[in-house]
Chains A and B, each alone.
Chain A
Amino acid sequence: MEDSFENINPKLYKKIDERKITAEDEDEDIVDEFDAREIFDLIRNINDPEHPLTLEELNVVEQSLIEIDNKASTVHIKFTPTIPHCSMATLIGLSIRVQLLRVLPSRFKVSVEITPGTHISEAAVNKQLADKERIAAALENNHLLEVINQCIGIKC
């Protein structure tokens, strides 16, 4: 397995600090809208399919590349594959989509795209990730679902 890695020595990035809980956050009478940090916390610990590292540690996801509009119920995420010909790009995008599909309220429309200019098959991968029918079919594939669940499963 080791020698089949596409990107043998990926560059590592520092994790950001844990979110500080404010008094306002704990006040039940104040409505806490979703923010980019919250979305980031939901996806930062997704595991890379080939390295024992999180998407945050590989800089695949960044808080600054997350847009959220609570009023319009839209979440837009850009992710950056570690190398421009990464064959795992679709699987990574799929894991991000599935994680948000499971944890966010169903009113949210989630779109997941490759950061422009960071992958050779960017358009094809984006089109695939935007096609909910193909995503639905993929999630009925038990083998694929197992791989995605492994990526999403937070390390103990």
Chain B
Amino acid sequence: MGTLELKQTLTGHRGRVWNVCWHPNGTCLASCGEDKSIIIWGQQDSKWVVKTILTEGHTRTIREIAWSPCGNYIASASFDSTTAVWDNKSGQFECNATLEGHENEVKSVSWSCNGHLLATCSRDKSVWIWEINDDEYECAAVINAHTQDVKKIRWHPNEEVVASASYDNTVRIFKEDVEDNDWSCIDILSSHTSTVWSLAWNKEGNRIATCSDDQTVKIWQEYKPDNEPGIVTPKNKSVWKCVCTITGYHTRTIYDIDWCKTTGLLVTACGDDIIRIFKEDSDSDPHQPSFSMVCSMGTAHVQDVNCVQWHPTVPGQLASASDDGLVKIWFYNE
């Protein structure tokens, strides 16, 4: 078993911290929570310190933040039903765009790989796709595909394909139809028996890991038309199959999952206060993979862990956020 070493505890938020997000080059970390503020942390003499606190962008809880791929923008999703976009053109972060349209709480926000599209999802069951041109945000699609509250939205790592997870127990995959410029659902991933809280793509974008209130993690594999194992693909569209269920480890709701793009390790954030790390077995069959738990950090926080995210460039480093009001930086030693 590996170990998770606590590097630093970051205090600054008042109340529950919902989310953390690394800057794409890993030099800073953003966090947000019920205190309606975004804190940007940076390193100083090898310690993480508060660099900037962004306030007054939202009137209610900030549920999630996301850095743009270029690292110059932060999008923030809030219970106040808006998404704010912050930029640092003036030398400091300012909120220069507020995206309105959702009927109630915005739960998640994600930038596409090239930074041209932004996706948001909400309690109102919809997913919105926004097109970005010269700092203008235009709604390109409103997708009413889920039957319940949409919890998480995440773009494919290198294509304009987006996946959403919902209170309706499913994950759905959306893609723009080139013929009529319409965004449509290309597959519904059904297997979880309760709310799907989060999802993460692997580096190649041919697998998705999902985590749920049903206390399991599932691994889904994409099968394109004419795939080798002969999985049937109706209408010449990819299908996603659940190829692995990781069960028996988590004792409460799993709120978040992240798939490391450098090491391939999976990390989960759980309502039992534990951070767990999973690794695919080396002799694993790609169509029937098996994963082993390689680390379980008990009492990683003293309350629910809400978010975990691997550092984009330093293998083994990760950040977590919790109901206990803290952000923690960890290092995984194999």
Interface residues of A (CB under 8 A from B): 106-107, 109, 127, 130-134, 136-137, 140
Contacts and interface: CB of A to CB of B under 8 A. Distances in A.
Contact of B105 (A109, A130, A137): A137
Given A109-B252, A140-B79, A133 B194 contact: no
The main secondary structure of chain B at its interface with chain A is loop
Interface of B: 16, 34, 60-61, 63, 79, 104-105, 107, 123, 149, 151, 167, 194-195, 213, 252-253, 271, 302-304, 323-324
Given A107-B303, A132-B304, A134-B149, A140 B60 contact: yes
6 contacts: A107-B303, A109-B252, A127-B167, A131-B167, A133-B63, A140-B61
A127 B195 contact: yes
A136 B157 CA distance: 31
A92 to B, nearest CB: 21
B16 A136 contact: yes
A137 B271 contact: no
B304 A127 contact: no
Contacts of B61: 136-137, 140
B304 to A, nearest CB: 7
A76 to B, nearest CB: 12
Contact of A130 (B149, B213, B304, B324): B213
Contact of A137 (B123, B213, B324): B123
B69 to A, nearest CB: 27
B195 A109 contact: no
B271 A109 contact: yes
Contacts of A137: 60-61, 79, 104-105, 123
A7 B16 CA distance: 39
A75 B213 CA distance: 18
B211 to A, nearest CB: 14
A21 to B, nearest CB: 31
A107 B271 CA distance: 12
B44 to A, nearest CB: 31
Nearest to B302: A107
Nearest first, the 6 A-B pairs at minimum CB distance are A137-B105, A137-B79, A140-B60, A140-B79, A106-B303, A107-B302
B167 A136 contact: no
Contacts of A109: 252, 271, 304
B34 A136 contact: yes
Contacts of B303: 106-107
B328 to A, nearest CB: 17
A136 B252 CA distance: 18
Contacts of B304: 109, 132
Contacts of A106: 302-303, 323-324
Contacts of B151: 133
B274 to A, nearest CB: 13
A127 B149 CA distance: 12
Contacts of B324: 106
B38 to A, nearest CB: 17
B83 to A, nearest CB: 16
A133 B197 CA distance: 10
A131 B166 CA distance: 12
Given A132-B304, A137-B60, 7 more contacts: A127-B195, A130-B253, A131-B195, A133-B107, A134-B123, A137-B105, A140-B60
Contacts of A127: 167, 194-195, 213
Contacts of B252: 109
B148 to A, nearest CB: 9
A90 B32 CA distance: 28
A9 B107 CA distance: 42
Contacts of A107: 302-303
A97 to B, nearest CB: 14
A136 B167 CA distance: 15
A142 to B, nearest CB: 11
Contacts of B60: 137, 140
